[in-house]
Chain A
Amino acid sequence: MIVDFAIIFLKAALVLGMVLNLAGILGWIERKGSALIQDRIGANRASIFGFAGLGLVNTLIADPLKFLTKEDFIPPSGDKFLHTLAPCMALFPALVTFAVIPFGDVLNLGGRTINLQVANINIGILYVFAMGSLGVYGIVIGAWASNNKFSMLGGVRGSAQMISYEIAMGLSVIGVLMVYGTLELQEIARGQGALMRDLLPTWLTFLQPAIGWLPAWGIFLQPLAFLLFFTAAVAETKRVPFDLPEGESELVAGYHVEYSGGKFLMFFAGEFAEIVTAAGLVTTLFFGGWQVPYLLRDGFHFPWGATLLLPHLAVVLLQVGAFALKVVFFCWLQILLRWSVPRFRYDQVMRLGWKMLLPLALINVAVTAVWIVAAQ
């Protein structure tokens, strides 16, 4: 009993720690990366006793210290209680969503089978959307409680944008759910361990030499869904090219214009935690989650017949490592995207969400349904 609780506690602490630390490191990668893209040096001023390290360690320590020691300003005409509550409401959903994302298969340790996922609920993907839909409150309430017209405009833009893209996001995932036949993220990740040749219907066997060796990852089965989901996920994180709620050239800083110090840090960390969560979701739904191609529970089984048996612990480490690598890759991709494209105009954001992503997602669902019936 106590050991079970300890295991759950450890898993939760591990995942939460990884998300928060990755969020912090991403803050540094964003600065250094943007400097690299724009041919500057970037953040290099923080140093402890003359030791600047790679900039990373010092930035990780200096940044939060600076934020936490600044004055916490609450607008006198604003709403004190809600102004304080809003950053928590923005950070909380971003941190808890990762609980249903599996970071490995099962770990057999001392006679126990540990599922490498914090919360194994059979409606995992719906939980993700439930938490995502709660993320709007941080923005709306923060904007309203600041009693500032710029904040207010940012909050209104943010809530409209998030509601719009939630719909496209939800519909784009339905194709994936239909293909793997489950709402559970661990099952979706397991389903991606199969190979294409296991899934090809009999009237398509002639394709086997060409694509039979591919792993049955979401990206190969649902390429359109991946594009739609990734676009919608970037829009949900409210970053360039979808950073209309902040839009510093029009709204100063949008919904968090009246926030300073630790509370601003919470909005800031929430944004990076959302990036990590979006990367985790993209990895789990479309890139095999913790799957390494051809790696089964006892080792590698290559499609040309060769096998390489590995001990259990090595397999688990490979899986967790592969998951971490994929997540870091998609975090990096989002940061690259943020510094490469210009901001959309507001009507373009709305048109993209409602007139392009939504119909395309519906078409994807219909085509997937026809495919599933035809493949039977």
Chain B
Amino acid sequence: MDIESLIFYLLATLLLIASLLVVFLRNVVHCAMALVTALLLIAVLFIILHAPMIGVLQVIIYAGAIMVLFLFVIMFLNPAVLEQQRGIWWGFGTILASLLAGLLIPLLGRDELPTDPVAATELFGSPEMLAKSLFNEFVLPFEIASVLLLVAIIGAVVLAKRGHKS
């Protein structure tokens, strides 16, 4: 086994442990921190796949911004209240997870999976390539996504203002 697969299996094991902790830990803040760990490990996976840009963006956006806001909200709410409502979602989550597993497990046995890792060129995942595909090929979806986010922001502001008046 070469050193890259060794690192991969180590990371994958840690990632699985972190993800399981997200589900099974009792304290919501602990769950959030386990999720942060999982996101950081995914970032490392991106980096060993020669896509450091995506890995670092993963850290900036998910681990650095979104999860901080999650924690922000969790700390303002009372975690004990969230604890009681958890039981309802267990059944639903189990059904969804088994459906996903049913889709994924048959894929493992197939022969036509690419045996070579993706032939990564020097420029793959570089800022230049990302910018080129984002602002040439996919400029319309990109702009639509940003307008969608803008709508969400304006909606949030409107809701906050309405609550403020009454």
* Residues of A that sit less than 8 Å from B by CB: 79, 82, 121-123, 126-127, 129-130, 132-134, 136-137, 140-141, 144, 152, 155-156, 159-160, 163, 166, 183
Q: What residues of chain A lie closer than 8 Å to B49, measured between beta carbons?
A: none
Of the candidate stretches B11-19, B51-59, B92-100, the one touching chain A is: B51-59
Return the contact of B53 from the options A126, A137, A144 (Cβ within 8 A): A126
Instruction: Give chain B nearest CB distance to A302 CB in angstroms.
Output: 36
Is A123 a contact of B127 with CB atoms below 8 Å? yes
Q: What residues of chain A lie closer than 8 Å to B64, measured between beta carbons?
A: 129-130, 132-134, 136, 166
Question: In the assembly, what is the distance between CA of A129 and CA of B69, in Å?
Answer: 17
Q: What residues of chain B lie closer than 8 Å to A166, measured between beta carbons?
A: 64-65
Within 8 A of A (CB), among B57-96: 57, 59-60, 63-65, 68-69, 71-72, 75-76
Chain A proximity mask over B111-138: 1 for CB below 8 Å, otherwise 0: 0000000000000001100000000000
Instruction: Give chain B nearest CB distance to A150 CB in angstroms.
Output: 14
A152-B65 CB under 8 A given contacts A130-B56, A130-B60: no
In the assembled complex, B38 has its CB within 8 A of some CB on chain A: no
Is B63 a contact of A134 with CB atoms below 8 Å? yes
Is B68 a contact of A136 with CB atoms below 8 Å? yes
Question: In the assembly, what is the distance between CA of A144 and CA of B69, in Å?
Answer: 14
Is A140 a contact of B52 with CB atoms below 8 Å? no
Is B29 a contact of A144 with CB atoms below 8 Å? yes
Instruction: Give chain A nearest CB distance to B39 CB in angstroms.
Output: 11
Is A159 a contact of B68 with CB atoms below 8 Å? yes
Instruction: Give chain A nearest CB distance to B118 CB in angstroms.
Output: 19
Q: Which residue of A lies closest to B67 (CB)?
A: A137
> Told that A144-B71, A160-B72 touch, could you supply 13 new A-B pairs with CB distance under 8 A?
A82-B29, A122-B52, A123-B56, A126-B53, A126-B57, A126-B60, A129-B60, A133-B64, A156-B72, A159-B68, A166-B64, A166-B65, A183-B127
Q: Which 6 A-B pairs have the closest CB atoms?
A: A133-B64, A130-B59, A126-B56, A130-B60, A130-B56, A136-B68
Question: In the assembly, what is the distance between CA of A362 and CA of B105, in Å?
Answer: 48
Return the contact of A122 from the options B29, B59, B126 (Cβ within 8 A): B126
Question: In the assembly, what is the distance between CA of A236 and CA of B24, in Å?
Answer: 34
- A-B contacts, 15 of them at CB < 8 A, read A123-B56, A126-B56, A126-B60, A129-B60, A130-B59, A132-B64, A133-B63, A136-B68, A137-B36, A137-B71, A141-B29, A156-B75, A159-B71, A160-B72, A183-B127
Is A140 a contact of B126 with CB atoms below 8 Å? no
* Residues of B that sit less than 8 Å from A by CB: 27, 29-30, 33, 36, 52-53, 56-57, 59-60, 63-65, 68-69, 71-72, 75-76, 126-127
Is A137 a contact of B68 with CB atoms below 8 Å? yes
Instruction: Give chain B nearest CB distance to A141 CB in angstroms.
Output: 7
Q: What residues of chain A lie closer than 8 Å to B29, measured between beta carbons?
A: 79, 82, 141, 144
Instruction: Give chain A nearest CB distance to B127 CB in angstroms.
Output: 6
Q: Which residue of A lies closest to B58 (CB)?
A: A130
Question: In the assembly, what is the distance between CA of A183 and CA of B53, in Å?
Answer: 11
Q: Which residue of B lies closest to A145 (CB)?
A: B29
Question: In the assembly, what is the distance between CA of A136 and CA of B63, in Å?
Answer: 10
Question: In the assembly, what is the distance between CA of A160 and CA of B68, in Å?
Answer: 9
A133-B75 CB under 8 A given contacts A121-B52, A122-B126: no
Is B33 a contact of A133 with CB atoms below 8 Å? no
Q: What residues of chain B lie closer than 8 Å to A123, measured between beta carbons?
A: 52-53, 56, 127
Q: What residues of chain B lie closer than 8 Å to A126, measured between beta carbons?
A: 53, 56-57, 60
Of the listed residues B27, B59, B68, the one surrounded by the most CB atoms of chain A closer than 10 A to its CB is B68
A163-B65 CB under 8 A given contacts A144-B75, A155-B75: yes
Return the contact of A163 from the options B27, B56, B59, B68 (Cβ within 8 A): B68
Is B65 a contact of A140 with CB atoms below 8 Å? no
